[in-house]
Amino acid sequence: MRISGFEWDEGNVVHLALGHGIEAEEAEEVFAVSPLYRRTKRGHYAAFGPSRAGRLLVLVFEMKGKGLARVIIGWDMDRAERRYYQQQRRR
């Protein structure tokens, strides 16, 4: 998957920061270090990966035109998600 940039506005920045404690810059870090991608049931994508600080995050996003990703929601990986991420990284 090729992501050339991010679409941020006050809505998704505030939602991530206040609702989930994730700053936009931290979310972008997950995409910088070869994240694991999965398609969601609703047609979006989920990116699994670490931030620079080592925080393991899941970010649900949609692809916009010209390779722009718009992060919709994110959270810290739970135990099952960490196990899935670690197993997939070994392959």
Per residue, the 3-state secondary structure of the chain, as one string, reads: CCCCEECCCHHHHHHHHHHHCCCHHHHHHHHHCCCEEEECCCCCEEEEEECCCCCEEEEEEEECHHHEEEEEEEEECCHHHHHHHHHHHHC
User: What is the rounded distance in angstroms from the CA atom of residue 39 to the CA atom of residue 28?
Assistant: 18
Predicted TM-score (pTM) of the model is 0.92
Q: Is residue 1 predicted with pLDDT exceeding 90?
A: no
Per the structure, the complete domain to which residue 10 belongs is given by: 5-90
Q: What is the pLDDT of residue 80?
A: 97
Q: Is residue 11 predicted with pLDDT exceeding 80?
A: yes
9: tokens are 């506005």
Q: Is residue 91 predicted with pLDDT exceeding 80?
A: no
What is the domain-level CATH number for residue 11? 3.10.450.530
Write the pLDDT tens digit of every residue in 39-70: 999 999 999 999 999 999 999 999 998 999 99
Look at the chain and report how many structural domains it folds into: 1
Q: Pick from 49, 47, 41, 52: which is nearest to 82 by CA?
A: 49
